Structure 1
Amino acid sequence: MNSSTTVSAELGLRLVVPDRTTVPLLAGLEYAADDPYAIRMAFYVGDDEPVEWIFARELLTVGIVRRVGEGDVEVWPGADDGTLHIALSSPFGDALFEVPLPALADFLHRTYQAVPAGEESEFIDIDAELENLLWPS
């Protein structure tokens, strides 16, 4: 694969509200080989601009099998085998999402086909990253 490879998906997930009922919503996932450690997830809420969070790919992967994360992001498998929980915290509030595990696992699998685990550094353009740090545009 080359560094311009991208993987994307749309997931239907559920926002868990305080009374434990759920509200369905849509999230877009995007992975780019030239940013191999990150997965961008855009949450579409109503007609507003999507709310975007950036997750470590490894965090979502490990979260499939055990609770992981601290601070702003926590991920853990549900009691059944079909759900993954993602808890987000920010100065603007907290949110808990129930994500369909098969769809997320398929997306993650495709990211590892694009950039295998342990080979992420081969997809980073170090010269471009240094240039951005030293001479931001």
Structure 2
Amino acid sequence: MSSYLHKTLVVEVRAGVTDRFPVLAHLSYTPDDPFAVTAVFSHDGRVLARWRLDREMLLEGLRRPVGCGDVRLRPEERGVARELRMEFFGEAHADGSRHHAVVFVWAEAVGEFLTETHRMVAPGSEKVRVDDFLADILAGS
């Protein structure tokens, strides 16, 4: 069994009120960080954003609205397709507003990716390496 899971998807970023344009989303998961899924969004070979997302929050976002801070997720219907709407809030501008992006991804693809992560590390069986965690914190200070 692989100790690393990766999936590349074409997602859509909303520009303005209604326009959408495609970008790549690279989802990755490793049992070394069992609670997180990393999402890297890129376009024309450039990384636009990188987010570490809570794995179970992603799963819950496929079913109902979740999140109230920098990341907000909710399911949406678009014709016959089910999408996961991912809203990201970033750093503040000088005027007090914040960077804001809305990404739409095919819900089934996210669900399949999460199923694979659950095969690697079943929900509830995640282990946190406290010594490694503390070493990382102390190294940063």
TM-score range, shorter chain: 0.7 to 0.9
Partner of 1:108: 114
Gaps of 5+ in 1: none
Q: What do residues 91-122 of structure 1 show as CA deviations (whole Å, max 9, x unaligned)?
A: 2610111101111111000000000000112x
Partner of 2:94: none
Q: Distance in 1 between matches of 2:24 and 2:46?
A: 13
Partner of 1:78: 76
Q: Distance in 2 between matches of 1:134 and 1:93?
A: 31
Residue 31 of structure 2 contacts residue 121 of structure 2 at CA under 8 Å; is this kept in 1? yes
RMSD over equivalenced CA pairs, Å:
1.9
Q: Distance in 2 between matches of 1:73 and 1:49?
A: 18
Q: In proportion to residue count, which structure has more strand?
A: 2
Q: Tell me whether 102-111 or 89-98 shows the greater mean CA deviation.
A: 89-98
What letter matches 1:119 in structure 2?
S
Q: Distance in 2 between matches of 1:36 and 1:6?
A: 11
Q: Distance in 1 between matches of 2:17 and 2:41?
A: 21
Q: CA deviation at 1:135?
A: 4.5
Larger relative contact order, structure 1 or 2 (CA cutoff 8 Å, min sep 6): 1
1:128–1:94 Cα change, 3 Å = same
Partner of 1:126: 130
Using structure 2 for the length normalisation, give the TM-score: 0.85
Q: Distance in 2 between matches of 1:64 and 1:19?
A: 23
Residue 40 of structure 2 contacts residue 47 of structure 2 at CA under 8 Å; is this kept in 1? no
Q: Equivalent residue of 1:66, what SS?
A: coil
Partner of 2:103: 97
Runs of 4+ residues deviating >4 angstroms: none
Q: Distance in 2 between matches of 1:31 and 1:47?
A: 21
Instruction: State, as a whole percentage, how many aligned pairs show the same letter.
Output: 29
Q: Equivalent residue of 1:82, what SS?
A: strand
Q: What do residues 19-71 of structure 1 show as CA deviations (whole Å, max 9, x unaligned)?
A: 31210111100111010011100000334234211100011010000000011
Q: CA deviation at 1:16?
A: 1.1
Q: Equivalent residue of 1:102, what SS?
A: helix
